[in-house]
Structure formats: structure tokens, C-alpha cells
A and B are shown apart, each in its own frame.
Chain A
Amino acid sequence: MITLTVNNQAHGVDADPETPLLYVLRDELGLNGAKFGCGLGQCGACTVMLDGEAVFSCVTPLSVVGARKVKTIEGLGTVANPSPLQQAFIELNAAQCGYCIAGMIMRAQALLEKNPRPAEDELRAHMAPNLCRCGTHMRILAAIRRAAAQMQAAALAKPGKSPVR
């Protein structure tokens, strides 16, 4: 039994340590957010956060996760109480099929937690590992910029509070 901390909750998981994190999240824990896209770390559909860093869960075996904290899109917010990024993606209809979006949001979250005001070229370079095929890029970028601005405004309004969830 391996203990895995996902979205601040500890789970005992009965799986081969070589199993990529993606399959454990989806099949053992029933989390839908991270998607199988390539299994090669080339598309980012499976992106989750590991101790604050964006990682490809499809090529991250359980043995590598260890005690580090996993965060998935389910850990950001809910339909009723969305995080700033989720809210911005909903407001801007920043999806077509939406298959890549959870990965996009998790990669953007990792960026904004470190760099709340990325320059446009920093933003684009950071998002480069994640592919979108429907061509929703302009809206994805706009939603990230909107969330960043909203998080900044919230941070200024409540001094002492972290600017990100």
C-alpha cells in the first residue's frame, strides 16, 4: 500500500510503484481532471501539480511521487465555488472540446503561484508544453491573464492573504 496525498487528502493506494500517477488519479481515486493524451510527456493533457510544480502525470511513476503533495484541478475549486482560473475560463468560454483545459489550468496555476504577473512571452513560453487542437489558444491565454489580474486585485484588497488559492 502506497500513501498518496492528493488535494490535501491522504489516500492508501494499492498499485505497482511503477504505475504512472495519471492512472492512479483517474482509476483508483476517480478523478476526471487529468487526461491521457500521449503517455509520453509531449502534450500536457495530464498536467497536475507536484509540490507546486507542473508535471506530466502520465510519465510520473508513483515511486517518484513519494510524500510530495499532488494537486489536481479538483483541488482548485468547484462549479459552485470556482478558483480564479476556473472562473475566468468559464467567463470567457475558454474551451471548445475542453479535453486539454484541466491540464492548461494546472500548468497556469503553477505559473501564477510563482509569478503572479507574467509577461506575455513568459506566459506563452510557460504554457508551451501543453497542446490544444481545437485552436482555443487565444481564449486560454486571455483567461489566464484575467485570472492573474483578478488574483492580484484580490491580494491587494486583502493584505496578508496569499494571492492564490
Chain B
Amino acid sequence: MTMDALSHSRRAFLANTGSLVIGFSLLRAEAFAQPSSQRLPGDLEGNPMLDAWIRIDPGNKITVFTGKAELGQGTKTFLLQIAAEQLDVDPKGITFITADTGLTPDEGYTAGSATMSSSGTALMNAAAQVREILLNLAARKSGLPVTQLVARDAAIHAPDGRSWTYGELVAQDTLHLRAQPSTKLKDPKDYRLVGISMPRVDIPAKVTGGAAYVHDLRPEGMVHARVVRPPRYGARLAEVETASVEKMPGVVRVVRDGSYLAVVAEKEFQAIRAMQALKSAAKWEMGPGLPANQDAVWSFLKSAPAQTDVIVDRALGAPVKTVEANYARPYFMHASIGPSCAVAVLRDGKLMVWSHTQGVFPDRQAIAELLSMAEDDVRVIHAEGAGCYGHNGADDAAADAALIARAVPGRPVRVQWMRDQEHQWEPYGSAMTTTMRGGVDASGMVVAWDYHFWSQTHATRPGGAGSTIAGWLIEKPFGLAKPSFKPSPRGSADRNAVPYYKFANAKVTSHFIATPMPLRVSALRSLGGYMNVFSIECFMDELAQAAGADPVEFRLKHLDDPRAIDVIRLAADKFGWKGGAKAPAGRGYGFSFSRYENLGAYLALAVEVEADPATGRVRLVRAVAADDSGQAVNPDAIENQIQGGIIQASSWTLSEQVRFDGNAITSVDWRSYPILRMPDVPDSIEVHVINRPGQPFLGTGEASQGPAGAAIANAIAHATGKRLRVPPFTPEVVKKAIDS
């Protein structure tokens, strides 16, 4: 892709897709007279014009737009399937454009497992409405009733053999119409693309060395930059002697703005060497220290002034057996394999930034604020990065590239972080601690459930320039906005804190700690959902044990949603779950269930682990998941996401913890922050997808993390007789528990 090809504006793009209007005003008057007060489907609500999503030019070139980004979950494939299905076009005949402030709708962040429900729903409805418009246009042209016309392969066909391509039917502003609240969708029985595991469109390039990532952009005249970060949060740059670094081979310039420090060089390795020299030359005022250890963070959470919200408040009953338990989790990293990267160029007062950000529009706002530029003068284009599991360093790297590009106008700047910078500076998933008190009556029903959780925020964006590292370090810094919390149905720290089980007697209390944050945190897959589901699903097993009940039966008798019951029965059945079954020596079985956000995908999981009593090493051996994500668009993509979620969460649960001492973050590489490697992964992971044709899309990406953590803990308890409540369950932790 050339810079010029990318620099056209949305206006220019629109001008190029025009043609003549043929008798369309009448049609519009009939069908689209009144903007409705009803809500529009999905993200059509915020972006109601059909041509924000779909454009057709006179040559029948069809372009489909989404404001969502490919993060490795298959967005470019399954959204294309949805649009092609309702448009009756071969997917290969569609040019598909993702998140770009210059071209696409503003759909906020690609996050929260919401791409399907927001963008998928919008595209499905927009495409079907466009097809209806095309059918009506052809009806007028042919004098035939719409019922006799058929849309097929980007053309409308009449029974007499006449046909018109879509391009022949549309004119410049044909699709410049407000979408309607209700849509004549295809009958799911007629789907030919939705529900099919269409191969991922992006994988062939990725396995053959094609340009696939922001890291692979090489615009003409590009220079390489590296940043120098302070030794820890809050440290300020006291002095730095730059003259010798500026004389190093290839160095273009050193960029300093307050405590912000970076170096630009012609070649990448020259930039790295200069960065090392600059790092040695920099002298820092250290500022405040870090907590001494993880225990200090948990006690801080429980003792700091908190905002308390009682989310569920029903009277507790009188149990015959009661159980109490405390759970906690440390900070986890996103720990993407590729450190954050961005490319930016400032030319004629206009800034272009290529970033693997989750939100090109909020990122544009942050960058414009950082550089005191008008948002209209900044364009942010999504380009893929290494795996994205939430708010990682992408936006920070984009801010770095922008700030550095301003210092070398006219030259595209590529900046990539070093591994230790990624490990030390990305926002971590928040540590949490929780308590449970509950009990069952004589019939084994839960009659008391009292859950408390303590957490800091799980989202430090959008926050403009103040949410970026560059914003904190420059001479006139921007501050991080004070985090706030309000209980909500989808939740953040409170995500999935309310049990999906039908408990007559339950209380759920949130304790939110606003300031100060000892470590930088933000969104990591499932936010508070991992800890809340972990606590709920471990405690269900603890209560089942108190009631003398099988964990699967115990869950079933507290549920009344048939779709929840279906996934639990399916997972149990495919696993071969038998109540009271003993596992072979050193092995254990565990079960868990959750409905993500209590309104998204249903997921039930049965696992088998091995726990070596000699070493304490635990390995997930086998996992069987059953998922209901609503209408399944691409079942293989759903399976891939769930397999990935299970493995990633098993890595969190068995081995991960951000480590630090009073001085600095000490998890700086893959030795000090180990994640699962090939010999550690299961023998098999089965995923059974229940398709619900015609039902709303529920999303999948974060459905399995909470259940995976809990099922593993439950299986360890089954294998060893020891209940472990604070991941990670490292060999040392497990060995100590077994030996105790």
C-alpha cells in the first residue's frame, strides 16, 4: 500500500463512487420518508446512513466498511460472510475495509466480545436493506413486481432472462439513506455463507511472508525510532547528555520533551544501539516506589478507602450448612508476542498514523490532544498487530510515533517497543480479591449467597492524551483521569459478579478503589469477569461438596434458562461426565459454566487435569467445551476463539503473575513472566458449538476465560483434595498444598 493510496479522504472516496440517479427520489419518498424514533439495529444506531457501510460504484465494485478491527479473531472473515450473505454477493467480489478514521463508521473500540452484536448486526441489516432497495429499483426498471425478481451474484435477475448488475441500478446517492429500524432479513434456512466455516481470508498472507502487520509497513523514506522509558512509574528525567548519541552512526535525531525520550535513526539496529546509549546516559529522579509485593496489593485493596455499591440485595435464608472462602488474583499481562508498534508521518500539517489500536476514533482524539492538533488533521488507520487481548501498548505506541513524527516532518517514522518496555509499561489486568459466604438448605438448594469483591478499575480509556505514556512524560503532561465506577448490566470490575443461577437469597457487594493505583492497569480480556466467574464457579463446587451433590447436577438445579442447561448437558455428555466418578491417580475432573456478561455467549466446560504429587506440576490434559454464541456465523472461528481462550486462561491460572518489588516491575521478559509453552498444552480441546439460526449474535472472544480458570481449580481440588483459591497454581504452590 502506498502512502498516496492511503491518503485519500472519505470525501474523495465518496466522489469516486458516484453515478446517475434514476427515478430514485420516488422510491425514497415511499420507503424512507420518515426517520423513525425506534432504535436501529447494532451500530447502525450511531452510524445510520447505509452508505457508511456499503457502497456500490457504477462498475459494480462493492465496498463494505466496518469500524471494527481484525485482532486475530477473524473479523475480516466473518463480517464479510454476513455482508455477502445478505447482499447476495460472492465474498471475493467485496472490497472490505476495516477501522480507519478517514473511511469507516465510528464504532468505538473493538472490544468486549461485541463485534458480532454491534458491527455484525449493523452489517447484516444494512446489507439486507441495500438488497431490498436494489430489488425495488429493478422492479421499477423492469415493470415487474419485486416478488418475481431474484438477487444473485451482485445482480438482480428477472424471470424473462433480463438482469441488471447492482452497479447499473445504483446512483451516486442511492445508498445515502438512513437505515430503517426493521429489516426484511433472509430466512436463515436460505443461508449459504452464514453458518459455514469459511477459511480465514487473512491467513494465506500470514503464512507466506505477505505484508500483514503494521510492523511490515515500509513507506518511502521511513526511519526507525526507539523510545527510552523511565525506570519506573513516576520517575522524571533529571538530565541526559545527548551529543554523543547524536553522533552515533545513522542517528537522525534525539527527541526529548520533558521526561519523554526517544531516538530516530536511519536503520532499525542503529536506533536500538542509540536507544541503549541514551538509556545509559539518562539520569532519573525516581519518584515514588512500588508496593513491596503482591500481598501488599491485596491488603491495599481491602484497606484503601472504597466506594461500596450493593449490586444485589436480597435477604439471606437459613442454611443448614455454610461455607466461607476467600479468592484473589494477581495482575496478569496481555503479553502479546509482538511488542507494540506504530508508523506515523506528518506532512503539510496532516498527521497519518497506522496503529494496531482497538479504537481508531478514540485514539485519534488522544493523539490530536497530545499534539494540540485538530482531530480533522489526524487520520488513524488500523493495521494489524500481534494478538490483542484488551488495552495493551498499541495506543501508547501510536502516541509515540505521532510525537516522534512531529520532530522529523515529512519522514514516516516506525517505532516498535523492546520486550522489556512492553512487559513493564503495558496496562495490566487488575488484581482483585473476593470473599464468599453461602450455604445450602436440607434439600441442597442455595439459600444464602453473599459475595464481596474488591477491585481497582478495569478501564483507563478513553482518556485522551492522559491515557497515554507519552502524555504523562512530556514537559506539559496530561494526567490520567480519575477512574470511576458505576454498576452496570455488562459490568467492568463487576462483570459477571451477579450469579446467573437463580438464587432466592443473594447479596453482591462491590468495593471499588479509585486511587491511587500502584500499577498501571486497564482492560484485559473479560475484565472483572475472570475473577468473578472464578469465585462463583469455585464456590459452586464448594457448596456442592457441602450439599453432597454432583457439581453438574448442582448447577443444573439452580438454573432455569434452557440455553444454559443445554450447554451444560452437552459439555457433560461429550466429556463423559459421571457424578461421583473417580479419576485415575494424580488426575481430577472439573466443571464450570458462565454466560458471559450474563447476556452474551453461554459456555460450559469440563476438564481433566494431572497434578504431579512429586513436583506439584499441574497440566490441563483435556478440555471439552460447549458454546452457544447465538447465530453461529463461522463455527470454526468460534472454536478457534474458545480454544484460544481456554489455553490463554489456563496459562494465567497455572503460571502467570506480574512480579515487582518496591523498586520496579521485575517481570521484564519471558523468563521472568513465563507463559505456557508447547509441552504444557492439553492433549485435546473439543469445542461443541450449538448454532441458533436467526437468534442474535452473542460474541465469543471472552466467553471461556472465567470458566477455564474455575474448571482447572475445581479439577485440582478433585485430583488432590486441596482447594486452591489464588492463582497462579505454580508447581511450588501446588506442591506446598499437596504436602500440607
Binding site for B on A (CB under 8 A): 15-16, 19-20, 23, 26-27, 30-33, 35-40, 42-43, 45, 72-74, 76-79, 82, 86, 89-91, 93-102, 105, 121, 124-125, 127-128, 130-139, 141
**A93 neighbours in B (Cβ, 8 Å):** 197, 199-200, 203, 636-637, 640
B387 close to A (CB within 8 Å)? yes
The answer on a CB contact under 8 Å between B648 and A32 is no
**B71 neighbours in A (Cβ, 8 Å):** 97
Most B CB contacts (10 A, CB to CB) among A90, A91, A101, A132 go to A132
Most A CB contacts (10 A, CB to CB) among B336, B387, B388 go to B387
The answer on a CB contact under 8 Å between B218 and A30 is yes
The answer on a CB contact under 8 Å between A138 and B209 is no
**A27 neighbours in B (Cβ, 8 Å):** 218, 224, 267-268
Contacts A23-B268, A90-B207, A136-B640; A131 near B199 (Cβ below 8 A): no
Residue in A closest to B249 when the chains form the complex, CB atoms = A16
**A96 neighbours in B (Cβ, 8 Å):** 72-73, 387, 640-641, 644
The answer on a CB contact under 8 Å between B203 and A134 is no
**B204 neighbours in A (Cβ, 8 Å):** 79, 82, 90
Contact pattern, B 607-650, Cβ under 8 Å of A = 1, otherwise 0? 00000000000000000000000000000110011011111100
- How long is the Cα–Cα vector from A136 to B418 in the complex, in angstroms? 24
The answer on a CB contact under 8 Å between B338 and A33 is no
Residue in B closest to A100 when the chains form the complex, CB atoms = B337
**A133 neighbours in B (Cβ, 8 Å):** 335-337, 386-387, 389, 648, 675
**Known pairs A97-B72, A121-B679. 19 more at Cβ < 8 A?**
A16-B249, A27-B267, A38-B670, A73-B207, A82-B204, A93-B200, A95-B206, A99-B337, A99-B387, A124-B679, A124-B681, A131-B337, A131-B675, A131-B677, A133-B675, A135-B648, A136-B647, A137-B647, A139-B640
Contact pattern, B 68-86, Cβ under 8 Å of A = 1, otherwise 0? 0001110000000000000
Binding site for A on B (CB under 8 A): 71-73, 197, 199-200, 202-213, 215-216, 218, 224, 249, 267-269, 272, 335-339, 384-389, 416, 418-419, 636-637, 640-641, 643-648, 651, 669-671, 675-679, 681-682, 684-685
**A76 neighbours in B (Cβ, 8 Å):** 208
The answer on a CB contact under 8 Å between B211 and A32 is yes
- How long is the Cα–Cα vector from A79 to B212 in the complex, in angstroms? 13
- How long is the Cα–Cα vector from A105 to B267 in the complex, in angstroms? 28
**A95 neighbours in B (Cβ, 8 Å):** 72, 200, 203, 206-207
- How long is the Cα–Cα vector from A30 to B215 in the complex, in angstroms? 12
**B224 neighbours in A (Cβ, 8 Å):** 27
The answer on a CB contact under 8 Å between A73 and B209 is yes
**B677 neighbours in A (Cβ, 8 Å):** 128, 131
Q: Which of A43, A89, A101, A138 contacts B681 (CB 8 A)?
A: A138
Contacts A99-B213, A130-B678; A79 near B72 (Cβ below 8 A): no
- How long is the Cα–Cα vector from A152 to B338 in the complex, in angstroms? 34
**B200 neighbours in A (Cβ, 8 Å):** 93, 95
Q: Which of A20, A97, A130 contacts B387 (CB 8 A)?
A: A97
Most A CB contacts (10 A, CB to CB) among B213, B215, B388, B677 go to B677
The answer on a CB contact under 8 Å between A98 and B206 is yes
**A77 neighbours in B (Cβ, 8 Å):** 208
Contacts A39-B418, A79-B204; A135 near B644 (Cβ below 8 A): yes
Residue in A closest to B217 when the chains form the complex, CB atoms = A32
The answer on a CB contact under 8 Å between B669 and A42 is yes
Residue in A closest to B200 when the chains form the complex, CB atoms = A93
The answer on a CB contact under 8 Å between A128 and B678 is yes
- How long is the Cα–Cα vector from A137 to B678 in the complex, in angstroms? 7
Contacts A36-B215, A128-B677, A137-B678; A101 near B206 (Cβ below 8 A): yes
The answer on a CB contact under 8 Å between A33 and B636 is no
Residue in B closest to A61 when the chains form the complex, CB atoms = B269
10 A-B pairs closest in CB distance? A135-B647, A97-B72, A135-B644, A98-B206, A33-B209, A99-B386, A97-B387, A74-B209, A96-B72, A42-B670
- How long is the Cα–Cα vector from A102 to B338 in the complex, in angstroms? 13
The answer on a CB contact under 8 Å between A98 and B203 is yes
**A124 neighbours in B (Cβ, 8 Å):** 678-679, 681
The answer on a CB contact under 8 Å between B209 and A102 is yes
Residue in B closest to A96 when the chains form the complex, CB atoms = B72
Contacts A82-B208, A135-B643, A136-B643; A97 near B670 (Cβ below 8 A): no
Contacts A40-B419, A79-B205, A138-B685; A97 near B267 (Cβ below 8 A): no
Residue in B closest to A85 when the chains form the complex, CB atoms = B207
**B199 neighbours in A (Cβ, 8 Å):** 90-91, 93
Closest chain-B Cβ to A94's Cβ sits at a distance in Å of 8
Q: List 8 A-B contacts (CB under 8 A).
A: A30-B218, A32-B211, A37-B386, A42-B671, A72-B209, A77-B208, A90-B207, A141-B678
- How long is the Cα–Cα vector from A128 to B681 in the complex, in angstroms? 10
Most B CB contacts (10 A, CB to CB) among A33, A90, A93 go to A93
Residue in B closest to A41 when the chains form the complex, CB atoms = B670
**B389 neighbours in A (Cβ, 8 Å):** 133
**A33 neighbours in B (Cβ, 8 Å):** 208-209
**A23 neighbours in B (Cβ, 8 Å):** 267-269
- How long is the Cα–Cα vector from A96 to B639 in the complex, in angstroms? 11
The answer on a CB contact under 8 Å between B203 and A16 is no
- How long is the Cα–Cα vector from A89 to B203 in the complex, in angstroms? 8
Residue in A closest to B686 when the chains form the complex, CB atoms = A138
The answer on a CB contact under 8 Å between B681 and A134 is no
Closest chain-B Cβ to A12's Cβ sits at a distance in Å of 16
Residue in B closest to A37 when the chains form the complex, CB atoms = B337
- How long is the Cα–Cα vector from A25 to B629 in the complex, in angstroms? 42
**A43 neighbours in B (Cβ, 8 Å):** 337, 670
Closest chain-B Cβ to A87's Cβ sits at a distance in Å of 9
Contacts A42-B671, A133-B648; A102 near B269 (Cβ below 8 A): no
**A31 neighbours in B (Cβ, 8 Å):** 209
The answer on a CB contact under 8 Å between A35 and B72 is no
Q: Which of A32, A127, A132, A137 contacts B212 (CB 8 A)?
A: A32
Residue in B closest to A18 when the chains form the complex, CB atoms = B269
- How long is the Cα–Cα vector from A162 to B685 in the complex, in angstroms? 34
Q: Which of B336, B637, B645, B679 contacts A135 (CB 8 A)?
A: B645
Residue in B closest to A27 when the chains form the complex, CB atoms = B268
**B637 neighbours in A (Cβ, 8 Å):** 93
- How long is the Cα–Cα vector from A89 to B678 in the complex, in angstroms? 17
Q: Which of A38, A74, A134 contacts B669 (CB 8 A)?
A: A38
The answer on a CB contact under 8 Å between B684 and A138 is yes
Closest chain-A Cβ to B142's Cβ sits at a distance in Å of 41
**B681 neighbours in A (Cβ, 8 Å):** 124, 137-138, 141
Residue in B closest to A31 when the chains form the complex, CB atoms = B209
- How long is the Cα–Cα vector from A127 to B679 in the complex, in angstroms? 8
Q: Which of B269, B384, B646, B682 contacts A97 (CB 8 A)?
A: B384
- How long is the Cα–Cα vector from A97 to B641 in the complex, in angstroms? 11
The answer on a CB contact under 8 Å between B387 and A89 is no
**B647 neighbours in A (Cβ, 8 Å):** 135-138
